[in-house]
Amino acid sequence: MSPTSDNPDKPEETPATDSGDGAAPAAATAAAGSDGDGGLLIEVDATESPAGQIAALEAKVAALTQDKKETWDKFVRATADLDNFRKRTRRDIEDARHEAKTRVLKEMLPVVDNLERAVQHAGGGEAAAVLEGVKLVLRQFTHAFERLEVTAVEAEGKPFDPNLHEAIGQQESDEAPGTVVSVLQRGYKLGDKLLRPSLVIVAKAKAAPAPEPDAAEAAPAPAEGESGGNGVAGSSEGGNG
């Protein structure tokens, strides 16, 4: 029995030899991955010289930096696209709501026009009670328009504005040319957008009066025959003398 081993069947272990330079075996590499603390482990070939390892690390860092930049750019673009999509969706929803409200209000405007005409042309007597009912309905429409931000377009006495008014005729007036002198149909706006233009009559300058004829020019000229006859008569009288 060997004095250095209690088990004769166990092979003797060969002690590891130290090369003295602290280098790992040629095949040893550091695996890339996470070190468990959130850091990044980069694979390095231990057989390379320190300068080569540094160059490899720098190349790897540059590649990772570029990859990070590209990933960040993609994230920024995706975020911007999402934000634009949200804004566009909100705008489309608002436009759809406005279009629906506009369509309904345009259908209501002729009803308001007829109620106003009824109040304007209604007589007294037995129709007085009916007239009060019409006025009440008209006030309800007016209050509803106020809540919906519907306002009447100011026209009479204002300068003609093609963005708000539609001229259907002209009329001689003492007002400045281009001034609205009469409103045939009231226009309305929804917020700052036009629902319907006002139908208006626009003032134009009065025609200048025709000049009166001069008295001298108005007197008839003497007939040519009468002038010649007087001359003949004068000659005859002279001969008699």
Task: Please give the domain boundaries of the chain with CATH numbers for all domains.
Answer: 43-148 (3.90.20.20), 150-208 (2.30.22.10)
Q: Which one, of 180, 176, 174, 149, lies nearest residue 162 by Cα? A: 180
Phi, psi of 176 (to 5 degrees): -65, 140
Alpha carbon distance 182, 203 (integer Å): 9
pLDDT at 58 (0 to 100)? 87
C-alpha pair distances (Å), 189 with each of 107, 112, 148, 176, 221 = 14, 14, 10, 26, 68
Phi, psi of 170 (to 5 degrees): -125, 155
Buried (b) or exposed (e) across 176-209, using 16+ Cβ within 10 A? eeebbbebebbbbbbeeeebbbbbbbbbbeeeee
- Check: CB of residue 23 under 8 Å from CB of residue 46: yes
pLDDT at 130 (0 to 100)? 85
Token pair in block for residue 86 = 């949200």
C-alpha pair distances (Å), 168 with each of 4, 106, 165, 186, 200 = 125, 21, 10, 13, 6
Task: Tell me the pairing of strands 150-152 and 165-172.
Answer: unpaired
pLDDT at 43 (0 to 100)? 67
Cβ neighbours of residue 17 closer than 8 Å, sequence gap 6 or more: none
Show pLDDT as tens, one digit a residue, over the chain (241 residues): 444 445 545 445 444 444 444 444 433 444 444 455 555 566 666 677 888 888 888 888 999 999 999 999 999 999 999 999 999 999 999 999 999 999 999 999 999 999 999 888 877 667 778 888 999 999 999 999 999 999 999 999 999 999 999 999 999 888 889 999 999 999 999 998 999 999 999 998 887 776 776 655 655 666 555 554 454 444 444 444 4
